[in-house]
Structure 1
Amino acid sequence: MTLQSITLAVITALGMTSAFAVPAGTWTVAAGAHMVDPKSDNGKLLNDTLSVDVDDDIRPTISGEYFVADNVGVELLAAMPFHHDFELKDPTGNTVLTGKTQHLPPTLSLQYHFDNDMMPMNVKPFVGVGVNYTTFFKERVSNGADLEFDDSVGVAGHVGIDFPYAPTESFRIDARYMDIKTDASLNGMDIGEVDISPWAYGVAFVKQF
């Protein structure tokens, strides 16, 4: 699913009326874990002489959502720092340098939750769009050079399904797309852009208040 299709689904959903809605004023908290899976081909550095390959990682996550209208919520996602190993490769595919970085990707989204009565087994799908802010820290490379990644701001998309098993409790599976691109510098010199732009796949326990 592309970010454009997620956006279209949100716009369509916001125009629907609801007979069995999550009422405005409701809070939910979701605690779980996500795997951040960066896109392939993460960019070229140093005038296209080095390619970047960024690894995935899994960390605990937590989100809070407040329903500003029936079935329409504003959600903030937070997480423990994600740790990523990466490789810099020459044009022949040989690894020239290896490195590590950590990042925090807080994400704010506007979401629409579809009504249970419209779905089999009372599952509750949802879609959302928003903005992601990612800050990087503890960057390092194997040769000891001073590597820095700039903070990133980009669009984000969210799709998922809640499986209720009690009146105020659900099990959630979801997927998020995050547009994460960061300018890299080595020993103070700009060397190009790293395009991580991952999908993040997660599970969580959801509690409604």
Structure 2
Amino acid sequence: MQLSRQIALALALTGMACGGAQAYQAGDWVVRFGAATVEPDVDSDAFAVAPLTGGTVDVDSDTQAGITVTYMLKDWFGIELLAATPFEHDLYLEDTALGRTRIGETKHLPPTVLAQFSLPGYGRVRPYAGIGVNYTRF
């Protein structure tokens, strides 16, 4: 999965999981629960080995329970950790002759650390944006 998609996923999870808007202050801990989805961006070259010549590999998506924990260093800036239950993805061989055939599965955990920037509030809405780093171990 590309880093930009991982960041977008983390931001989407955080946005979906938040309840009513609140004014956070430096020193506050914010905990949010929600759904986290990993949609791998698969770009497989075609096999050049018989009998798989022309076949490609695909990986399906998975959604799991997620949690984010944010520590507000300033009223407008926090450090956020995204965690989720393990994701499991089926692996497929796609071939014109064989069709779509399941060839295995993989599991991983996607801990992600984000820098979160809160923007000025607009009534009950306080938008924020983040940028982060993800390390996924298979």
Scaled by the length of structure 1, what TM-score is found? 0.48
Selected match of 2:116 from 94, 97, 111: 111
Q: CA deviation at 1:53?
A: 1.3
- 1:1-209 matched pairs, under 5 angstroms: 3=4, 22-39=24-41, 41-44=42-45, 46=47, 49-90=54-95, 94-95=99-100, 97-116=102-121, 119=122, 121-136=123-138
Q: Which runs of 5 or more structure 1 residues have no equivalent in the other structure? A: 7-19, 137-209
Q: Which runs of 5 or more structure 2 residues have no equivalent in the other structure? A: 8-21
Q: CA deviation at 1:86?
A: 1.9
Q: Is the 8 A contact 1:42 1:54 kept in 2?
A: no
Q: Is the 8 A contact 2:69 2:82 kept in 1?
A: yes
AA in 2 matched with 1:63: T
Secondary structure of 1:42's aligned partner: coil
Q: Is the 8 A contact 1:67 1:73 kept in 2?
A: yes
Secondary structure of 2:27's aligned partner: coil
Q: CA deviation at 1:115?
A: 2.6
**Change in CA separation of 1:99 and 1:34 when aligned onto 2, cut-off 3 Å:** same
AA in 2 matched with 1:25: G
AA in 2 matched with 1:24: A
After the TM superposition, list the runs of 4 or more consecutive aligned residues in structure 1 that deviate by more than 4 angstroms. Answer: 45-49
Scaled by the length of structure 2, what TM-score is found? 0.70
Q: Is the 8 A contact 2:39 2:61 kept in 1?
A: yes
Q: CA deviation at 1:29?
A: 0.7
Q: CA deviation at 1:43?
A: 2.0
Q: Which has the higher strand share?
A: 1
AA in 1 matched with 2:126: K
Q: 1:108 and 1:45 mapped to 2: Cα distance?
A: 35
**Change in CA separation of 1:58 and 1:97 when aligned onto 2, cut-off 3 Å:** closer
Q: 1:114 and 1:22 mapped to 2: Cα distance?
A: 12
AA in 1 matched with 2:38: V
What does residue 11 of structure 2 align with?
none
Q: 2:135 and 2:102 mapped to 1: Cα distance?
A: 27
Q: Is the 8 A contact 1:30 1:62 kept in 2?
A: yes
Q: 1:75 and 1:128 mapped to 2: Cα distance?
A: 9
Q: CA deviation at 1:44?
A: 2.4
Secondary structure of 1:24's aligned partner: coil
Q: Is the 8 A contact 1:21 1:115 kept in 2?
A: no
CA RMSD in angstroms comes to: 2.8
**Change in CA separation of 1:75 and 1:133 when aligned onto 2, cut-off 3 Å:** same
